Amino acid sequence: MGSRFRGNDEGLKIMTEISALKAGLIADIAAAGTLDALEALRVGALGKSGVVTGLLKTLGGMSPDERMEKGPPIQDLRESVTAALADKKAALEQAALDAKLASEKVDMTLPADLGTQGSVHAVSQVMDELAEIFADLGFSVATGPEIEDDWHNFTALNIPETHPARAMHDTFYFPDEEGQKRMLLRTHTSPVQIRTMMNGTPPPIRIIAPGRVYRSDSDATHTPMFHQIEGLVIDKGITLGHLKWTLETFLKAFFEREDIVLRLRPSYFPFTEPSVEVDVGYTLTNGQRVIGGDGDAADGGWLEVLGSGMVNRRVIEACGLDPDEWQGFAFGTGVDRLAMLKYGMNDLRAFFDGDLRWLKHYGFSALDVPTLSGGVGA
C-alpha cells in the first residue's frame, strides 16, 4: 500500500507534468523582458489562483503516502520558481539601473559654460604688475587720502602758497570753510611721501604709492582723473646711483626687455634737488614706437616716462626728520601712460568710458597669470 503510487502510471505522469511545468515556468521567467511581465508570471504561478499554488493546495487532500511522494517535487517546484523569479527580478532591476545611469551620465569632458565674464582693467593690471616688481625690490605699498589738504599736497612738498607750481596743477579745490584747512582733490601721489615720513615709523623707508589723482584737464592724453605711482626711499647714504639702478631695474622688468636705455635729463621739481626727468629709448618698428633700444639710434627716439630726484632736504625737514642723517630719492609717473606704452592703447579717455567692447579688447583675464614672468631678475 505504501508504494501505491510508486511505479504507478498516473503517478509518473504527474511527476512528468510537474517537471515539464517547472521547465516551462523557468523558461518563461528567463525570457521575461520587463518587471511587469515578470510580475504577471509570478501571479500566474504563485498568486492566489496560480498553478503552483493550486498544486500546493492539492497536498492537503492527499493521503500521507501520496503526499510523501508528490510533496517533494511540488515543494521543489515552488522553491525553484521562487528563486528564479527573485534572480530574474534582481537582473531586470540591475539592467534598468544600468540603463538609467547610461542615459543620465554627466560628461565631465564637456567644457563648462562660464557665462559672461568680466575682465581686469588695464590700469588694475598695470598696478598689480608694478606692486609685484617693487615688492621684489623690497618696497611695500602705501596709501593716502584722495581728498587732501593744501599742506600735504603742496606746502610740505616745498610748494608754498605763492609758488608758480601751484598754478601748473589745475587743482580742484573744495569751497573754503571758515576756520577749516583748505581741502582739495590731490593733484599727485606725492603727498603720500609726506604722510609716510610722518606716520611715526622710523626710516629706512621703501614704499610705492599707487592711486587716483585729479586735475582739471581733458583731451586725448589728459583726463580729469588719472593714476599715478609714487616711489620713495629714505635711508642713509642714498645717492642718485641708487635711483638710476632702481628705475632701470623697474623699467626692464615692466617692459619685459633687457635692452632698456635710460636718459636722465636735469629738470625741476620743488620737492627734489637735484631733479631729473627720465626718458626711455624706443625703436620705430613698422611705424610703431616700441620701447627698447637706444633712443639716439637712427630708427629711435626718446619718451619721457618719469619725474624723479633726490628728496629735497626741506621736505625731509618738514616731516620732522634730520636731513643730515637721512637722504633719499623719489619718483612719480603715470600708471595710465605706462599701460598705454606697454599695451599699445592710444586714447586715454577710452580708459574711463566704460565701453564694454574696449574692456573686452584691452582687459585682462582674472585667471591669467600676470604677463610678468616672475618679477625682477626672472
Stretch that binds ligand DAH, among 13-21, 100-108, 119-127, 329-337 (CB under 6 A): 329-337
Instruction: Give me the amino acid identity at 8.
Output: N
The site string for ligand DAH over 203-242 (x = CB under 6 A, - otherwise) reads: ---------------------------x------------
From start to end of the chain, where are the E strands?
A: 140-141, 147-149, 183-185, 205-214, 225-235, 262-269, 272-285, 288-291, 300-311, 327-334
Stretch that binds ligand DAH, among 96-104, 133-141, 218-226, 306-314 (CB under 6 A): 306-314
Provide the sign of the torsion angle of the four alpha carbons 260, 264, 267, 270, taken in this order. positive
Bond before 191 cis per omega within 30 degrees:
no
CB 331 within 8 A of CB 247: yes
Q: Nearer Cβ to ligand DAH, position 158 or 190?
A: 190
Q: Nearer Cβ to ligand DAH, position 21 or 243?
A: 243
**Could you tell me the smallest distance in angstroms from the CB atom of residue 263 to ligand DAH?**
16
CA gap 311, 150 in Å, rounded: 20
Q: DSSP class of residue 368?
A: S
Q: Nearer Cβ to ligand DAH, position 42 or 188?
A: 188
The site string for ligand DAH over 87-126 (x = CB under 6 A, - otherwise) reads: ----------------------------------------
**Could you tell me the smallest distance in angstroms from the CB atom of residue 308 to ligand DAH?**
5
279 in contact with ligand DAH (CB under 6 A): no
Among 250, 331, 351, 362, binds ligand DAH (CB under 6 A): 331
CB 209 within 8 A of CB 352: no
CA gap 291, 284 in Å, rounded: 9
269 in contact with ligand DAH (CB under 6 A): yes
255 in contact with ligand DAH (CB under 6 A): no
CB 130 within 8 A of CB 335: yes
**Could you tell me the smallest distance in angstroms from the CB atom of residue 249 to ligand DAH?**
17
Q: Is 44 exposed, middle or buried (0-12, 13-18, 19+ CB in 10 A)?
A: middle
Among 41, 197, 330, 372, binds ligand DAH (CB under 6 A): 330
Q: Nearer Cβ to ligand DAH, position 339 or 359?
A: 339
154 in contact with ligand DAH (CB under 6 A): no
How many of the other CB atoms lie within 10 Å of CB of 256?
A: 15
Name the residue with the smallest CB distance to ligand DAH.
Answer: 332
CA gap 273, 373 in Å, rounded: 35
Stretch that binds ligand DAH, among 27-35, 68-76, 105-113, 305-313 (CB under 6 A): 305-313
309 in contact with ligand DAH (CB under 6 A): yes
Q: Nearer Cβ to ligand DAH, position 130 or 330?
A: 330
148 in contact with ligand DAH (CB under 6 A): no
Stretch that binds ligand DAH, among 111-119, 132-140, 287-295, 302-310 (CB under 6 A): 302-310
The site string for ligand DAH over 4-43 (x = CB under 6 A, - otherwise) reads: ----------------------------------------
Bond before 111 cis per omega within 30 degrees:
no
Among 42, 188, 206, 252, binds ligand DAH (CB under 6 A): 188
332 in contact with ligand DAH (CB under 6 A): yes
Helix, strand and coil content of the chain, in percent to the nearest 5, comes to: 40, 20, 35
CB 266 within 8 A of CB 247: no
How many of the other CB atoms lie within 10 Å of CB of 257?
A: 14
Task: Transcribe 216-277 into DSSP letters.
Answer: S--BTTB-SEEEEEEEEEEESS--HHHHHHHHHHHHHHHHT-S-B-EEEEEEEETTEEEEEE
308 in contact with ligand DAH (CB under 6 A): yes
Q: CB under 8 Å to 89, separation ≥6 — which residues?
A: 35, 38
Q: Look at the chain and count its residues.
A: 378
272 in contact with ligand DAH (CB under 6 A): yes
Count of residues in contact with ligand DAH, rule CB under 6 A: 11
Binding site for ligand DAH (CB under 6 A): 188, 190, 230, 269, 272, 307-309, 330-332
